[in-house]
Amino acid sequence: MYDFTKAIEIATNVYWVGLYVEDDPFECHTYLIVDGDESILIDPGSMLEFEGVKQKIETLIDLSSIKYLVAHHQDPDVCANIPAFEKAIKRDDLFVITHSRSMALIKHYGIYSKYYIIEEHDFRLQTKNYGLTFLTTPYAHAPGAFVTYLKEEKVLFSSDIFGGVGGNWHFYADESYFEEIKSFHESYMPSQDILNFSLEKIEELTLNLIAPQHGSLIQKEYITPIMEELKNLKCGLYIDETYYKSLVHQNNLLKEKEKREKMLTQKLEMMMDLQENIIAITNGEKLKYINKAFFEFAKYETLDEFLKEHFCICDLFIDLEGEKYLKSNYPLKGYTWIEHLVENPEKEFFAVMKNKYGISTLFKVTLNQFSLSETEDFLVTFQNITPYIKNMDFVNILSNMNDIFFSIAGIDGKILNLSASLIKKLKIKDFTPSVYSVFDFFETDDLIIVERHIANNDVTPYEVNINYNNVVIPVLVQGYYGVIGETPVRVAILVDLSEKKKIEAESQQKDLMLLSQAKMAQMGEMVSMIAHQWRQPLNAISAASIKSVMQSELGILEENEFRDTQEFIQNQCQKMSGVIDTFMNYSKNSAKEEEFLIDAVFNVIVDLVKVQFESHGIEISFKYDKTLKLYGDKNMLEQVLINLLINAKDAYIEAENSEHKSIDIKVTDAPTIEISDGAGGISSEVAQNIFTPYFTTKEQGKGTGLGLYMSQRIMREHFSGNLFYEEIPNGSKFILDFRSKNGGGK
């Protein structure tokens, strides 16, 4: 018989310090682990028990020795007296150990101590002499419920699990205790599934004693029998027959889901077997699946055959120096190659493995998280980037050629071999392997292009400039990966484009001359327009000036009238200046590509041509969205539009008998610009040649025949578009098509 008025030692330095209430079927227990000034009080209890628990503790230790209060869940029979213990313990470093879900409710008891949230501390606590492990038991019976395992003494403080209620209470459980457990669990545990989830965790522990918060303590001899009975106990919702039938239905649905998932997995495996790359699925430790491409590469025929000799595909990795090569393991860092990939998602990694013929093969390795079941797996892709180099004869062939070079570099970029002709052309003295890097031979902009192609394993040819020792060589680069012996390399074949660039430059110079001729022809038209626009303000200025002089000679010139005349003359001069500014801006060859409002282009054109066109009775009408933007060389577009408008004006002048003279400009959101006139149109014979250079229907000296030719060139080369002619009734329509560069396509 035990004296319940005193603390009872249940293991070394572990005490029951609860309050026994006679004939109470719902006994509540508090436990104390004595560990100097880091002692631990487990489930402190309710206010009904505070004085009795406090007195028992004080027979063992001073209250100030308690540093931790464990609250397995938020109920008042566990937590209500924590504020009272806070005042009695009087420690600034007192911690309440609990789960974050429980803490959200426990704080409402008015607790001011710090919280030790178990999931934030890897579910562990280490004191001076003891290590506690916390196992979560969600919804048994609270969302944030957990149990505490004292490994040194093999004691489990099990909270509500294994608790019992009944009138025949014993301090230690006997053969009849399961009936009390049954009464408690049927009422307080939500379901058999939830209870068994917790029991599976507990079953893995080595236990000498279970100390629940209610009922009797369970010694070693009864633990296994009680646990086995508890696993089969229907509780909570399982007692409800309707719910049980529903559960069976849900279980059948789950089996059907598993069947569908199995079929999906089989389809997925079939799809992966069609891939050229090797694809493996692993949980980070064991290989679970690998596709057909692996067995075509390696000497094994089935996964089972491979797993008899190996646990992981990493066993086949050839360990090479350098961070970019995956190793079979990373003992210094204490993790696997999979974890190394997970830790470095932004980095590029390679693996070298021998194929069934013993040839070293270079793979680029990528990793994705994947799941074939409830567990998280990893899908790893091994992309073979090795064109096998069985011999290096091509090096000797290319080495002395003047227009085709080669470079062989390691994965780190260090150059292992270089064309003799390129060494000579770049004036490199005493070339030594591994001294120079690929990246030493390019300026910033070209270096970015090279690095991007290397990083993306892009094998499409690209153009850059080699720049070294003040020698610049434009080259076309074709790069790919190889393996020489067991050394992975990057091989680059470089074609010298110097002669090609020279020819292109000469051709471009000819184009500039043609463009200049066309521009100069337009300038003549512009000067004529400016003279026309200036005629009216000059006449007005002259008349105003003569009037002022005459009034002055007659002595009738008033001061305010003189001032008005001067202001009028200044306004006319500003108009003339504005015309010149517009002309000067138009005449600049900016050659700048940018986004611009089409409305700004039309405003420039109107300023330049409006007066002259009006003098010929020609009206220009616009239909467009003023917010529409284009991308390209704004100055070039102005040149094209001016040329088309001048052609339309000249057509009206030649027609002479046109009654209504109108040029309609319409912009669609394709985008296209349509310029239409009613000046009679162009014959089909002439229409076939209008975009031919030096072709003109104008009298000698009035046209160069370059306007439409250069306008079409500008549309193709500066806007990636085109210029078309379309015949309309009694007129012509020219269409500027921008769809290739500014969206859409023709």
The secondary structure of residue 286, as a DSSP letter, is S
Q: In this structure, is residue 260 part of a structural domain?
A: no
Instruction: Identify the band that residue 480 occupies on the pLDDT scale cut at 50, 70 and 90.
Output: confident
Q: Using the predicted structure, report yes or no on whether residue 522 has a pLDDT greater than 70.
A: no
| CATH classification of the domain holding 486 | 3.30.450.20
Integer CA distances (angstroms), 558 to 36, 389, 555, 572, in order: 112, 100, 9, 21
The secondary structure of residue 172, as a DSSP letter, is B
The secondary structure of residue 80, as a DSSP letter, is T
Q: What pLDDT does residue 391 have?
A: 45
Q: What pLDDT does residue 158 have?
A: 96
Q: Please compute, for residue 529, the number of CA atoms within 13 A of its CA located in the half-sphere on the CB side.
A: 24
| CATH classification of the domain holding 65 | 3.60.15.10
Segment 227-238 shows an average pLDDT of: 84
Q: What pLDDT does residue 745 have?
A: 41
Instruction: Identify the band that residue 40 occupies on the pLDDT scale cut at 50, 70 and 90.
Output: very high
Q: Using the predicted structure, report yes or no on whether residue 173 has a pLDDT greater than 90.
A: yes
| CATH classification of the domain holding 677 | 3.30.565.10
Single residue among 461, 496, 531 that ends a domain in this structure = 496
- Greater pLDDT, 616 or 246: 616
Which of 125-134, 380-389, 689-698, 707-716 is predicted least confidently? 689-698
Split into its structural domains, the chain has a count of 4
Q: 191 and 283: one domain? A: no
Query: Do the bridges between strand 114-117 and strand 462-468 make them parallel or antiparallel, or are there none, so unpaired?
Result: unpaired
Q: 458 and 572: one domain? A: no
Which of 102-106, 120-124, 410-414 is predicted least confidently? 410-414
Q: In this structure, is residue 141 part of a structural domain?
A: yes
Q: What pLDDT does residue 700 have?
A: 46
Q: What pLDDT does residue 161 have?
A: 95
Q: Using the predicted structure, report yes or no on whether residue 746 has a pLDDT greater than 50.
A: no
Segment 151-157 shows an average pLDDT of: 96
Q: 554 and 609: one domain? A: yes
Q: How far apart are CA 450 and CA 464, in angstroms?
A: 8
Percentage of the chain modeled with pLDDT above 70: 80
Assess contact for 618 and 661: CB atoms under 8 A: yes
Token reading at 181: 């457990």
Which of 5-9, 277-281, 476-480, 526-530 is predicted least confidently? 526-530
Q: In this structure, is residue 202 part of a structural domain?
A: yes
Percentage of the chain modeled with pLDDT above 90: 30
- Greater pLDDT, 645 or 539: 645
Q: What pLDDT does residue 694 have?
A: 61
Tell me the sheet residues that pair with 728: 731
Q: 129 and 17: one domain? A: yes
Q: Which amino acid is at 26?
A: F
| pLDDT tens-digit series, residues 552-610 | 777 777 777 777 777 666 665 665 555 555 545 544 555 578 888 999 888 888 877 77
Q: 376 and 430: one domain? A: no
Q: 330 and 186: one domain? A: no
Which of 136-145, 350-359, 567-576 is predicted least confidently? 567-576
Cβ neighbours of 548 (radius 10 Å): 17
Q: In this structure, is residue 1 part of a structural domain?
A: no
Helix (H) or strand (E) holding 136: strand 131-136
Q: How far apart are CA 181 and CA 218, in angstroms?
A: 11
- Greater pLDDT, 156 or 681: 156
Q: 583 and 615: one domain? A: yes
Which of 384-388, 422-426, 717-721 is predicted least confidently? 384-388
Integer CA distances (angstroms), 68 to 35, 61, 110, 126, in order: 11, 14, 17, 11
| pLDDT tens-digit series, residues 389-444 | 444 555 555 556 667 788 888 878 888 888 888 888 888 888 888 888 888 888 88
Q: Using the predicted structure, report yes or no on whether residue 626 has a pLDDT greater than 70.
A: yes
Q: 593 and 733: one domain? A: yes
Q: In this structure, is residue 259 part of a structural domain?
A: no
- Greater pLDDT, 645 or 521: 645
Q: How far apart are CA 746 and CA 744, in angstroms?
A: 7
Q: What pLDDT does residue 572 have?
A: 57
Q: Using the predicted structure, report yes or no on whether residue 46 has a pLDDT greater than 80.
A: yes
Q: In this structure, is residue 265 part of a structural domain?
A: no
* Highest mean pLDDT: which range of 162-176, 193-207, 645-659: 193-207
Instruction: Identify the band that residue 718 occupies on the pLDDT scale cut at 50, 70 and 90.
Output: confident
Q: How far apart are CA 74 and CA 143, in angstroms?
A: 10
Regarding pTM above 0.95, the answer is no
Q: In this structure, is residue 610 part of a structural domain?
A: yes
Per the prediction, the chain carries an average pLDDT of 82
Cβ neighbours of 735 (radius 10 Å): 20
Single residue among 463, 496, 529 that ends a domain in this structure = 496
Q: 42 and 188: one domain? A: yes
| pLDDT tens-digit series, residues 312-353 | 888 898 888 778 888 877 776 667 888 888 888 888 888 888
Q: In this structure, is residue 250 part of a structural domain?
A: no
Q: What pLDDT does residue 540 have?
A: 54
Report angle CA 243, 249, 254 to the nearest 5 degrees. Answer: 120
Q: Using the predicted structure, report yes or no on whether residue 50 has a pLDDT greater than 50.
A: yes
Q: 287 and 428: one domain? A: no
Q: 492 and 530: one domain? A: no
Q: Using the predicted structure, report yes or no on whether residue 102 has a pLDDT greater than 80.
A: yes
Q: 403 and 523: one domain? A: no
Q: How far apart are CA 399 and CA 417, in angstroms?
A: 10
Q: How far apart are CA 276 and CA 354, in angstroms?
A: 17
Q: What pLDDT does residue 642 have?
A: 82
Q: What pLDDT does residue 580 have?
A: 56
Question: What is the domain range of residue 309?
Answer: 275-384
Rounded (10°) angle between helices 707-718 and 634-655: 150
Single residue among 239, 267, 283 that ends a domain in this structure = 239
Q: Using the predicted structure, report yes or no on whether residue 743 has a pLDDT greater than 60.
A: no
Q: What pLDDT does residue 701 have?
A: 42
